[in-house]
Structure 1
């Protein structure tokens, strides 16, 4: 029924096996689908992140955007997901991480969320286009440091 609406679907893979993910993608189809790698532990320990699943999902479901749904403390793992090619990042937000409930400890306060967005934008810019070139800022050091002309 959800597939028939034609609306975008975000599929989180927490608590799932690869067979279950395969069945979900087969059921939902790949149009308007975003798959989020996730480990649904609150808060998640770094050893459970399994970030290598991001390229595995991207390769397995070619053409389907793959992102990351994070439940860890801090920002490092979410930022690593972007560096590994995640096209979307989902994080919980709270007004106070010390509030009662398992979600709050794995959530970001507004300042942390703003920092995450800022750092994601920096990583996106730093990823580049994969074409090796000499940047304008390298020209002066190149002229000064190169001993042998190319």
Structure 2
């Protein structure tokens, strides 16, 4: 990101009128910081207000059908279901392609 800065917009030169003065520059930096805060760190964090509903509202990755040890986890043999006390669907693409270390029954929560 680039933005020209000036101490006085009345100074001569082509960039002065398009530049930000100290007050405007401070406002721009604050706006950028608000955007950064809104974007977060890219990870979903459980908030205090969500905690009581976690088990009800959240889901876990489970076996869509019986899976044998050594079988690769795929979109066809996995699905998500409640409750959310197992591996989060947020890790779906981490689980896909992994190999089952043991047998899993249909609807059983997946463990890596």
User: Higher strand share goes to which structure?
Assistant: 1
Asked whether the two chains share a fold, i.e. TM above 0.5, the reply is no
TM-score (normalizing by structure 1)? 0.30
User: Higher helix share goes to which structure?
Assistant: 1
TM-score (normalizing by structure 2)? 0.38
Structure with bigger RCO (C-alpha 8 Å, 6+ apart): 2
Which has the higher Rg, Structure 1 or Structure 2? 2
